[in-house]
Structure 1
Amino acid sequence: MSLEDLLVELEAAKDPEKAGPMEAYMRHQFPFLGIAGPERNALYKKYFPEAKKTRVIDWDFVDTCWAKEPREYQYVAANYLKTMQSYLTENDLPNLERLVVTKSWWDTVDILDRIVGSLVYGKPELEEIILQWSLSDNIWLRRVAIDHQLLRKEKTNVQLMEKVLLNNLDQTEFFINKAIGWALRDYSKTNPEWVASFIEKNRERMAELSIKEASKYL
């Protein structure tokens, strides 16, 4: 079984009746084949374990998926990279950046941010790149910079998180303000005092949405 066989199966499973509602849910940003999450996950379980044995990331496969119009192909590529993330190196970061800024929407970006988080964890030399992303003209790179440490708990690099958050205050962009709220809400489960202090110090620069999300568990 090859990854190309996965794409053949994906195409064969298309369901136009389901495609319409899926496109509407994603605000008609992309066309869909009409293949729901459970069916896609079944294909991942069928093909990805064999692909993982290679220990080599097939970027040609990823690029092929990203170039196709139906959104499910980008889901395949992003979840393939999630499966292979332990084999990513810092040399792959430019490729991940390219995916973040291409055919961007929250659905793929929120998969990629965890992959980026896995790659940069424990690599201080990559922090500067994350800080650059946090100041990017591209909102999706900013979102990844803000949320790439989700679920780190005690392993969160608080100094880096604070710098990234401060770089993104005074925003009107929904997807950035939502990400700020998520990052703070997630970390509040580990260190509520720090989050409460951050909100208090920066309240005037924070969007109401960010404060509401961040305060959920305080």
Structure 2
Amino acid sequence: MASIPLERYQNELIDLFRTNRNEWNREPMENYMRNHFSFLGIKSPERKEFLKRFFVEYGKPERDWIKPLVTFLYTQPEREFHYAALAMIDVHIMKLDAEWLPFLEELISTNSWWDTVDHIAPHHVGAILLREKASIEDFPDRWVESENFWLQRSAILFQLKYKSKTDAEKLFSYIEATKGSREFFIQKAIGWALREYSKTAPAKVRSFINSTEDLAPLSRREGLKHLARRGMEV
């Protein structure tokens, strides 16, 4: 783990990224994200390599640093720092418990867009809730009723990596609760979750889709993609 003070650790990371900014890439990256965020122009492979080298030189973050470090990185205007913040959580995710869920809820609701939310929901929230299922009632069950559609999306997607461990009844209940949404990111999340689960339980997903009224065409189309590729009658 890191052997330098947190403040220096933060500043060294800021300097590393800003020193390697790429103006050639910046505008296309900002346009791709519909100009919701500023970018340094550091693409994902380079950013991951910089972080790898950073961890070699300065060590991985102490567990006690995660909240202040992530909070600090989330205050930076450039999106690459938000990605780096999530990578800091990745380091310790297997040791984090349900006490971290309020912090993750705050992150989902801060600087919100699909690129960060779609990492936090399955990789962070999902990892914790797989170990601590009792907390589902206090978080995704509540999120699915939220007016914040990023929290709703997170509820739909937190089981995305569960495969055979998916609670199908829970997933389908969330979809029933949100299927009337006109929000693109909810309709897309429903389709994505169904498509991913169909790789594990194709008949169950096909039955759900065919018996669910008022499922948005986008959700239905996305949900059936894998089944169609397998040649299953839909």
With the length of structure 2 as denominator, give the TM-score of the two structures: 0.87
Quick check: 1:32–1:71 contact (8 Å CA) kept in 2?
A: yes
The amino acid that maps onto 1:208 is P
1:175 corresponding residue in structure 2: 185
Cα distance in 2 between the residues matched to 1:153 and 1:212: 20
Quick check: 1:57–1:87 contact (8 Å CA) kept in 2?
A: no
Paired-residue identity, %:
38
SS of equivalent residue, structure 2 residue 53: helix
Cα distance in 2 between the residues matched to 1:122 and 1:42: 30
Query: Aligned match of 2:13 in 3, 6, 15?
Result: 6
Quick check: 2:180–2:215 contact (8 Å CA) kept in 1?
A: yes
Report the CA distance shift for 1:39/1:158 in structure 2 as closer, same or farther (over 3 A). Answer: same
Cα distance in 2 between the residues matched to 1:81 and 1:58: 7
Is 1:100 equivalent to 2:108 in the alignment? yes
User: Structure 1 residue 56: deviation in Å?
Assistant: 3.9
User: Structure 1 residue 127: deviation in Å?
Assistant: 1.4
Report the CA distance shift for 1:193/1:48 in structure 2 as closer, same or farther (over 3 A). Answer: farther
Matches within 5 A, 1:41-52: 41-48=48-55, 50-51=59-60
Matches within 5 A, 1:61-210: 61-114=69-122, 115-128=124-137, 129-202=139-212, 204-210=213-219
1:17 corresponding residue in structure 2: 24
Compare 159-168 and 68-77 and name the one that shifted more.
159-168
CA RMSD of aligned residues (A): 1.5
Is 1:58 equivalent to 2:100 in the alignment? no
Quick check: 2:109–2:150 contact (8 Å CA) kept in 1?
A: yes
Report the CA distance shift for 1:160/1:60 in structure 2 as closer, same or farther (over 3 A). Answer: same
User: Structure 1 residue 130: deviation in Å?
Assistant: 0.9
Give 1 or 2 for the bigger CA radius of gyration. Answer: 2
Cα distance in 1 between the residues matched to 2:55 and 2:194: 33
